[in-house]
Amino acid sequence: MPTTSAPTHRPRLTLGRLELWPPVVLAPMAGVTNVAFRSLCRRHGGGLYVSEMVGARGLLEGDARSRLKAAFGPDETPRSIQLYGTDPADTAAAVRLLVAPEADSARAPVDHIDLNFGCPAPKVTRHGGGAALPWHTDLYADIVAMAVAAAGEVPVTVKLRLGIDDAHLTYLEAGRIAEDLGVAAVALHARTAEDRYGPPAAWEHIGHLVDALTVPVLGNGDIWEAADALRMQAETGCAGVVVGRGCLGRPWLFRDLAAAFDGRPIPPAPRLGEVADLLVEHAGLLADHLGTTTGLRELRKHTGWYLQGFPVGKPLRRALHQVSTLDELRHLLSDLDRDLAFDESIRRQPRGHTTRPKRVILPMGWLATRSHGTSRSPDGAVVSGG
């Protein structure tokens, strides 16, 4: 059983057969939480590091991109994957594929499966997926039930948002359904799909879900530094926290979180030299995972996040977006003032998505009924309700 040590005065986070310390989860982030980024973050602290979202249908069809997203490092444990699907049978089949022992270490077995019901992206919600799906409670229940049954002893969790918008909240009902169907925990991003990433996360809803459920509830939204995680736990009673944008360009946030939950002093922020070394290390990991050309192209989104808070100048930032080799990257960073301190005044400045509220794109007639017209037969198969 993958376990990390915990002080006796704080309980470990228990997800089925997994026991984790600290109670910290890396949020799945598309195009970010691949093998390379997870490896870098894991080096800074324990917890659970979830893959980027993988589509069930693509995985079943052997799509190369889906298989790459579902890959794990050779020493990665626990192996945690986030699965997306809108069809119960596809989702269950993908779960069976992921939990089955396979010679191909890029696919299976996994130690934990998280079901995505929280994505607000139009390309997902327009098909009735992500944060839109729990509105149709029968379809949502079918997906969760069949995934849990297919997973066997592997713990399954669900990731939710508050709902589609303020007039169509779903999280309490969806949380209760998931608990009744045997999930190990429920994670809640305390914004609606319409909110995207704009307004502050409404943590009070995390507390409402904690009061409504007996399984662990994990809180997500606006964890920018370690103190935020402790405050979220104190204010909501959540069993653990899910960290997303706060760790972009800051993998050492997991070091800070481990110290905070252990009751140790938070280490000082790294100076520019250490950050530059992390940037090079990240580039090398991406090159190993994706190949040098693709890996360095993927690095571009990360360079701005790493250098946020350091006055390195626009010419260097532009040049870093053009590098084609690791040696070129090292050369560009070699002249930096390695002792330059981080600008603490922007510590809480958002990274990554900063989109303002937008109307959620849904399938035609999606909100007209709560039913999707499916139900489970006695053998677990989904049958049409007409």
- CA nearest to 57, candidates 69, 47, 46, 48: 69
Average pLDDT over residues 324-351: 89
- CA nearest to 257, candidates 22, 4, 50, 18: 22
Average pLDDT over residues 275-285: 97
Average pLDDT over residues 156-165: 98
Q: What is the pLDDT of residues 304-333, one digit of tens each?
A: 999 998 999 899 999 999 999 999 999 999
pLDDT at 288: 95
Percent of the chain with pLDDT over 90: 83
Contact predicate 25/47, CB 8 Å = yes
pLDDT at 198: 84
Give the span between the Cα atoms of 5 and 261, in whole angstroms.
11
- CA nearest to 38, candidates 90, 77, 86: 77
Q: What is the pLDDT of residues 13-44, one digit of tens each?
A: 999 999 999 999 999 999 999 999 999 999 99
Q: What is the pLDDT of residues 44-98, one digit of tens each?
A: 998 999 999 999 999 999 999 999 999 999 889 999 999 999 999 999 999 999 9
Percent of the chain with pLDDT over 70: 91
pLDDT band for position 375 (cuts 50, 70, 90): very low
Give the span between the Cα atoms of 80 and 164, in whole angstroms.
26
pLDDT at 108: 53
pLDDT at 10: 65
Q: What is the pLDDT of residues 135-155, one digit of tens each?
A: 999 999 999 999 999 999 999
Q: Which of 41, 119, 238, 247 is catalytic?
A: 119
pLDDT at 209: 98
Task: Tell whether the model's pLDDT for residue 1 goes beyond 70.
Answer: no
Per mean pLDDT, which range of 165-174, 180-189, 268-277, 368-377 is the poorest?
Answer: 368-377
Average pLDDT over residues 170-199: 97
Alpha helices in 73-132 (DSSP H): 88-99, 122-125
Burial label for 198, CB within 10 Å (0-12, 13-18, 19+), is: middle
Contact predicate 171/160, CB 8 Å = yes
Amino acid code (one letter) for 198: G
DSSP letter for each residue of 274-336:
HHHHHHHHHHHHHHHHH-HHHHHHHHHHHHHHHHTTS---HHHHHHHTT--SHHHHHHHHTTS
Q: What is the pTM of this model?
A: 0.91
pLDDT band for position 107 (cuts 50, 70, 90): low
Give the span between the Cα atoms of 215 and 158, in whole angstroms.
11
238 classed as catalytic: no
